Amino acid sequence: MITGKNYIGEELSDNGDIKFRTFNPRENKETSPTFFEASKEEVNLAVEKASQAFELYKNKTNSEVAKFLEAIASALEANGEALKAIYREESGLPEGRSNGEFARTTGQLRAFAEMLKEGSWVEAIISNPEGKPDIRRMQVPYGPVAVFGASNFPFAFSTAGGDTASALASGSPVVVKSHPLHAGTGELVSQAIIQAAKKTGMPDGVFSNLNSKGIEVGEWLVKHPKIKAVGFTGSYKAGTALSKLAAARPEPIPVFAEMGSVNPVVALPSSLEEKGEEWAEQYAGSITAGCGQFCTNPGLILGIESPSLDHFIENLGENLANIAPDVMLSPGIQGQYETSKSGVLSQEGYNPVGKYVGEIQPNFGRQEVISVTGETFLENTNFHKEVFGPFSVIVKCKNKEQLNEVLQQLEGQLTGTVLNSDQKELQDYKGVIDSLTATVGRIIYNSVPTGVEVCAAMTHGGPFPATSNAKFTSVGLTAVQRWVRPISYQDWPDELLPDALKDKNPLGILRNINGKYTTDSL
């Protein structure tokens, strides 16, 4: 049942004066529940509860926290059909997407649980050579974390998504600012988290969920002195604004913001000569997947002038024109897409490649691709900008040198892709590939960038402005490293050390002892 209220720890609250509803973009109408935006007092109470909970939660064992994460996954699955139904109603996303994203959400919760059971994530290091101080180091949680739900992933990057799962795994309580586009989904997910917290004996305040239509709740959260870190997925404008707020605090805190990308794709000559038509079909699908509302959407495709590039462009345009458009997440996002697209299309010097020309329903996104020369792209940075939606720019470079120059002018990106059919060619383009690698967090070979695998090796991040901190990932098991800090114990009695650092290694974890990785005891 959706109440529209805020979860302040385990308690429901509706003290705020501002009310709002979510919107079904596919049916072009408001949904029925009314939601109460959190008041400043409710924000303060949620953070105070989180701070008190931290004193208990940080001392929970890895096994206890793992059971909590597994219980969240099980509680979500127990109410899975209702959750997927409200997800689809509030986002307009199809059943297949709701099923896949739901499975990803429960899967990553269980993946962090397994990480905790294994235990080596604390990165225990012991240095005690004879005649030197005994120094032992490990990672410990920061404290309460504020998590901002993402518009385009109501499950996987929101209330119980990767930021929340990794923060809870670290031993940090979480206060979520629910995204207003899917507040109902957020509340039902919160119910599952609170249910799991009670079932596994977690302290009241280990999790809270705050509704918010405007920006004030987020600002109050980031500025609260007891919030110690922030997780955000969204626009560059919002991410940088939060980063500035956090940096201006008396005690600055880190904001781990994933802010988008154009995800350049370098199509080397051999790839278009050998598989140009195949790549045109795949990239038409990638550009329009999810109506282009993925942070890994291929917004920029680069190649060298040739008949094979021209043929690829022609085929891409034809494929694109034959794909039926889909709904965007909200009227506001659809409006922003049209505004951003119009800003690019108001520039001079581009050629149309392809677009859908038929009638579209309200809130649907009309896909479009254009091409420019390398010279035009270098001269006009308006063609570099991300357009959040099914839109891409193809850059026709004169030669390898201009291609490299274009890549060196790009800002930081989440992904970069190389398409290639002749590995010998890779040596000729080593400089180009090096330039691309220097700009991205993940470099892909012969695939499409859409889709982010949840695994230990994944980096979903990249140099600014793709993210606010290129050292970290928001997807995968190492995402937990955002919410911890190192601490060293010098000459402490063994019985007072955390289990991860004790002589006998009671956790049986892999540790670095005097430069050697081992599970042995001292």
CA distance 517 to 331: 54
User: What is the DSSP annotation of 80-104?
Assistant: HHHHHHHHHHHH---HHHHHHHHHH
Catalytic choice (295, 368, 386, 397): 295
Element (H or E) spanning 354, and its range?
strand 350-355
CB atoms within 10 A of CB 501: 21
CB contact at 8 A, 286 and 450? yes
Choosing from 187, 258, 368, 386, the catalytic residue is 258
Q: Is 397 a catalytic residue?
A: no
Residue 222, token pair as written in the block: 């980031």
Among the listed residues 143, 142, 141, 180, the one whose alpha carbon sits nearest the alpha carbon of residue 48: 143
Residues in contact with 226: Cβ distance below 8 Å, sequence separation at least 6, in sequence order: 47, 48, 50, 51, 143, 144
Contact between residue 179 and residue 151 where contact means Cβ atoms under 8 Å apart: yes
Relative to beta strand 484-490, strand 391-397 is unpaired
Q: Would you call 474 helix, strand, or coil by DSSP?
A: coil
295 given a catalytic annotation: yes
The answer to whether 233 touches 258, Cβ cutoff 8 Å, is yes
Closest CA to 494 of 231, 136, 130: 136
End-to-end CA distance of the chain: 54
Residue 119 in tokens = 């235990």
Known catalytic residues are 258, 295
